[in-house]
A and B are shown apart, each in its own frame.
Chain A
């Protein structure tokens, strides 16, 4: 994608989502994260469990009320109290695909009604037209007509994820948040679902926010990748330069920790081993969040929180020592 044809679709500015977890204890799940997503691109969001990547996705789609910050979709600010008609229109444009294909489908509903949930909620189509649309969608995601009257338990994990994708597509969304859509699936099925998502993106011009912890898959599907650590964005770059020349020490460690499916490469390469595990995310102090595990940390890192800065063109990192 050339920069000239980039059209801004979603602007997230200084988004914060705090949870009160106890008396005087605040969990800053998402703390001052800013992000731009352009039309037609896939933005990957990676990080370890508890880094806030899912909370970020859920706050963007308004499943959680943001504590602070602005979300601008297609030029309109969508947080705060939108009039219900406008909110209704917005929910049609933005949809979500969930991680667990077992939990996100109602076990007592037939596939035809599951897929039509969005159509019914928005009153788009009725009767025969509705049935026709559902069958069309099932075909789009690689299922057939005969599946329409079955219940979710009759499907495998991969097929359920396809049902979930069909439901997402039913209202013709522009922007889809995929929250770990493949991590519950087997390796051979993961590739099927990823191929389907890419094909749909090309045909329908969809924009994806792809949240996952499997870095090799994220690299495959994303144009740009953001890395999160303990509620903050630490690095953002296009996927090539992030993998080839990561700037933040956390990204470097994360990339070096992925086991590569090639015995000779795997046995000869050196790893950056991180000491310990994630610190307690409750009541974090000032300073770089990664300082306690960072091999390069200095006094400055413990005192001042680093800001995101453009170190190379299009490559942002939040680290005092990145240059």
Chain B
């Protein structure tokens, strides 16, 4: 497997009326060919902003202030908007949470797919484009592609619309598909269908997937590797089994513990107390120190380093430092 995408020390700031929000504070991660990486975190942890900077889709008041985004060696963070337009939709595609707002309500399904091909595949003829669109519609599991081609988004159900969004995203065989909470707006039975479709498509067309979600069940279902974000930083990343079974970071442990389990029904849930940090004025130490049950003095003063605690298992926590051994036990 070769490395496809590498994000190094990415920093993103967002200007607001009240000051600058340090939304992403130096995160590094990578994506290999044909793998699925899940990015997990609460709202405001910086997960959506991170992938939006990969796509060059930051809001106007947002800016990459440090780090690099390497797609097969090319640094996307230095690309102009014009250059990004050639990447978006062809090398990297994105699907969003709400399928209704990502489709144009006044355009037929078929036309929306053809539109992408017109932009990126100038070599194709009109008939080829239509054939490709029909092929994509049936690829995402929609029956009667010929009829659907001429229908409008409002004629489809939520799950069907998300399938169309996926078809649009896959039109140019992207190397990377970024899915930002793709199933959050859908019902559980439809969610299961869409997750199955994504896994199935990955096998068929060999694309890599970055999925953003807050649902740890979805992570367990689809991910190969997981990165956990908190307070604009990446606090833990590991292979999916290792993350669930050999959890190192107290925040990840807290997240896993706060889901109700079958075994202790009715008892009190293990909640994480307090609220996430304000990224307008981020804490100088570990971002999780204020809510952690095992905070030490050093946690409040100095940000923890990235520690390796397994083959490809990283965590940022002072508890993993050798000097904290006594405290840990």
Which residues of A line the B interface, CB within 8 A?
48-49, 156-159, 186-192, 194-195, 198, 213, 215-217, 219-220, 239-240, 243, 253-254, 256-267, 271, 273-274, 277-278
Contact = CB atoms under 8 A, between A and B. Distances in A.
A271 B272 CA distance: 32
Interface of B: 42-43, 157-160, 187-193, 195-196, 214-221, 240-241, 244, 254-256, 258-260, 262, 265-266, 268-273, 275-276
Given A190-B258, A240-B265, A273-B193, 19 more contacts: A48-B187, A158-B275, A186-B42, A186-B43, A187-B216, A187-B258, A188-B255, A188-B271, A188-B272, A192-B273, A219-B260, A220-B269, A259-B191, A259-B195, A259-B221, A261-B259, A263-B240, A263-B244, A273-B196
Q: Do most interface residues of chain A lie in helix, strand or loop, or is the interface mixed? A: helix
B241 A261 contact: no
B271 A192 contact: yes
15 contacts: A48-B187, A186-B42, A186-B43, A189-B271, A192-B271, A194-B260, A257-B188, A257-B191, A258-B188, A259-B192, A261-B217, A267-B221, A271-B196, A274-B189, A277-B190
A191 B189 contact: no
B217 A220 contact: no
A256 B188 CA distance: 9
Given A190-B258, A192-B273, A259 B215 contact: yes
A25 B276 CA distance: 48
A261 B215 CA distance: 8
A195 B217 contact: no
Given A49-B187, A259-B215, A264-B241, A277 B258 contact: no
Given A187-B259, A188-B258, A263 B269 contact: no
B100 to A, nearest CB: 13
B35 to A, nearest CB: 14
Given A48-B189, A158-B275, A195 B268 contact: yes
Given A261-B216, A271-B192, A213 B272 contact: no
Nearest to B258: A191
A254 B190 CA distance: 10
Given A187-B214, A187-B259, A277-B159, A195 B189 contact: no
A99 to B, nearest CB: 14
Given A158-B275, A273-B193, A263 B220 contact: yes
Nearest to B190: A277
B271 A220 contact: no
B112 to A, nearest CB: 20
A257 B244 CA distance: 20
B220 A261 contact: yes
A188 to B, nearest CB: 4
B261 to A, nearest CB: 8
Contact of B260 (A192, A216, A267): A216
Nearest to A192: B271
Given A192-B273, A219-B260, A278-B157, A259 B220 contact: yes
A257 B220 contact: no
A40 to B, nearest CB: 14
A184 to B, nearest CB: 10
Contacts of A256: 192
Contacts of B265: 219-220, 239-240
Residue of B191, B218, B260, B262 ringed by the most chain A CB atoms within 10 A: B260
B161 to A, nearest CB: 10
Contacts of A259: 191-192, 195, 215, 217-218, 220-221
A194 B259 CA distance: 11
Contacts of B159: 277
A85 B118 CA distance: 68
A277 B193 CA distance: 10
Nearest to A218: B260
B43 A198 contact: no
Contacts of A216: 259-260
B1 to A, nearest CB: 19
Contacts of A260: 217, 220
Given A188-B258, A273-B192, A277-B159, A220 B273 contact: no
A74 to B, nearest CB: 26
A261 B256 contact: yes
B269 A188 contact: no
A306 B276 CA distance: 49
Contact of A217 (B255, B260, B276): B260
Residue of B193, B254, B271 ringed by the most chain A CB atoms within 10 A: B271
